[in-house]
Chains A and B, each alone.
Chain A
Amino acid sequence: MPRKSARAGLSQASTSSQSHSESRIEEHLASSQASLDDQVNNVVRYIVNNAGQNLYFRRADIQKCCGAKVGQQFQQVLEKATAILKNVYGYNILACDQTPSSGKAYIVSNALPYRNYKPDADDIQAKEIQKIVLLLILTHIYMSDGPVPDASVYSFLKSFGIDVNIRHPLFGLIKDYITNVLIKQKFLSLETDPITKKSLFSWGIRAETEINKHELLKFVCKVCKNRQPKAWGNQYKAACSQEFKNERLVDQNAMDVDEE
C-alpha cells in the first residue's frame, strides 16, 4: 500500500511540478506581455504629453521613459506606440535622420486633414501671423529649386519690406523666430556647404510632410497672375513627388496671403 501511494504521490508531484513550471512560464509570458503593454502606454503618454511643443524626440529620451533596453524589444514597443498614436490620437511619428548629436530622432506630425476651424474670428495669435514668414521662405526655397544661401532668403524677405535684423511690427524678431522656432521645429533646415562654407536653407522634414507643394505652387501662380502650375517644370515635378502626408480639405480661401 505505501508503495502504491508513494508512486502515486511521486507521479502527482511530478505532474504538479510540470504544470507548476508551465504556469510559471505562462505567468512570465503574461507579465512580460503586460510590461510590454506598459512600456507602449508609457511611450504614448510621454509623446501625447509633449507633442504640443512641436519639438523633436530623441530616441534616448523615449527609451528612458519606458525603461526598455535597446534592440528588438524597443523596436516592437515603438511600432505599437506608433500605431496607437496614429489610430487613437491622429498623430504621425516620423523619423528624422539628421540630428547634431547623430542619435535617431522623431517628430510628431498631425495625420488628420487640416480643418479651418476658427470659432472666434479675432482669436488670431501672433504665432499664426508669424507663419506668413515661414510661407515666404519656403516658397523662395521651393521656387529656387534647391538649398538657398541665407543671404538670399534675407534679401527675398527684404523685397517684401521685412528686415530680419530689426523688430518687425507684425512678425517680431524674425532672425530669432527662424533659429529658435522654425529650425528647431524642423520646418527649415540649415546646413553649411562644405565647399563654399555658406549657410544654406532648405525645407525641413516637418515642412515636407505638412505643407503641400501643390498649394504653394498655386499661390505662386496667383501672385504671378495667369501662369499655370505646369509652367514651372521642376517645381511641378517636385510637388508631385512630395511625400505629402497631410491630406488637405479643399479650401482655396485658406491660402490667401496679403502682401505689403
Chain B
Amino acid sequence: MGTAFNNTHRYFTQFMLSNGIVTLDNAMKFFEEISPERNTLAFLKTLVIEINREICKQSFKIATTICEITGDKVFVWLNTKSDEVSRLQVGFSAVELEYFHAILQEIVTSEDHVIQYPRAINIASTLTATLSRDNGEKALIRWIKGGYYVKQDERVFLGPRTILEFTTFLRTNTENCSCDLCSELVFVGETCNSCSKTFHKLCINKYLQNQQSCPSCRNTWGDPNSTMDVDSDADPRPSRRRRHN
C-alpha cells in the first residue's frame, strides 16, 4: 500500500460513504474537526487523493464536481462499477430502481432536461410493478438527499452524482449534451442564441471574461440578432436556426 492510512483517512472515508454527496464547505468543516493541525483545502485534497488510491481497488472513487443547479462545489462518493456486486445492494427494491431509471429517462429526454416535481411523483404509477406514490416520494427524497437528483422550485433536475455515476450511459443515450469547453456532460447551463450549443455556466463565464463570442459558432454571445440572416444573402445554403435538445 502507498501511504499509511490513519484514522483521519478512515473518518473521511466513512463520512463520504454515509453522506454520498457533501458540499466543499461541509467537507472542510468536518475535516477541520478530524484534522485540526492540518486543516487547509490543500491537505484535504491530498487526503482525498490518498484515499482514492486505495478505494479504487474496490471500484470506488471520491470525485469533485460542481452542481449545475446550485453552483455548489461538491465531493461525491462514486461507485464506478455497475455489476452483480453493486446490484446486490440492499436498500432499494427492484421497483424503486425501475422508478429511478424512469425518472432519469424522462429528464434526459425532456426539453431543457427538467421535469416538474408532481410529474416525478406520478411516474411511480406508470411502472411495471406496483409502487405507491407515497413510497415513490420517499425514495425520491432519499435520492435528492444523496445527490442523484436536485429539486429546485418544484422542478427536478439531474444531480451531480447521477451525471458522474451514469456518465457512460448518459453519453450513449443523449445527443449534444457535451460542453465544448470542458468535454464533460452538461444538462443545465447557458445556451448560445445562434447555434444552440450549451455550455456549463462556469465554463462559459470564464471564457467570456476574455472573449465576447460563442466558442462554437463564433457569433457574438447573447446577441439574439446575430443569426444567419446577416449572411444569407452571401450564403445561399439553408441556415440551421432550429433549437434542438
- Give A contacts to B, CB under 8 Å: 37, 41-42, 44-46, 48-50, 52-53, 55, 65, 84, 87-90, 110-113, 115, 117, 119
Contact = CB atoms under 8 A, between A and B. Distances in A.
Contact of A46 (B13, B18, B88): B88
A89 B13 contact: yes
B33 interface: yes
Contact of B34 (A48, A87, A115): A115
Contacts of B88: 46, 49-50, 65
B60 A48 contact: yes
A108 to B, nearest CB: 11
Interface string B5-25: 101011101100110000000
A244 B84 CA distance: 35
B70 to A, nearest CB: 17
B30 A90 contact: no
Contacts of B54: 88
B55 A88 contact: yes
B128 to A, nearest CB: 25
Interface string B60-82: 10000000000000000001010
Given A41-B57, A45-B59, A117-B33, A50 B90 contact: yes
Contact of B10 (A52, A89, A119): A89
Main secondary structure of the interface of A (DSSP, over half): helix
B29 interface: yes
B224 to A, nearest CB: 44
Interface string B21-51: 0000010011001100000000000000001
Given A53-B91, A112-B11, A113-B7, 16 more contacts: A41-B59, A42-B85, A44-B58, A45-B59, A45-B60, A48-B17, A48-B58, A52-B18, A65-B85, A87-B1, A88-B54, A88-B55, A89-B10, A89-B13, A89-B14, A90-B14
Contacts, number: 69
A181 to B, nearest CB: 15
Contact of B13 (A50, A55, A88): A88
Contact of A87 (B5, B26, B59): B5
Residue of B10, B54, B91 with highest tally of chain A CB at under 10 A: B10
Given A45-B85, A49-B86, A112-B11, A119 B17 contact: no
Contact of A110 (B5, B14, B33, B60): B14
Given A48-B60, A88-B55, A117 B17 contact: no
Q: Which 5 A-B pairs have the closest CB atoms?
A: A90-B10, A45-B58, A88-B54, A44-B58, A49-B89
Contact of A115 (B33, B59, B60, B84): B33
Given A49-B85, A115-B34, A119-B26, A89 B90 contact: no
Given A41-B57, A41-B58, A119-B30, A49 B13 contact: no
A90 B60 contact: no
Contact of A112 (B7, B55, B84): B7
B84 to A, nearest CB: 7
A52 B91 contact: yes
Nearest to A116: B33
Nearest to B34: A115
Residue of A48, A49, A65, A117 with highest tally of chain B CB at under 10 A: A49
Contacts of A117: 30, 33
A110 B14 CA distance: 9
A65 B84 contact: yes
Contacts of B14: 89-90, 110, 112
A115 B58 contact: no
Contacts of A110: 14
A49 B89 CA distance: 6
Nearest to B81: A45
A40 to B, nearest CB: 9
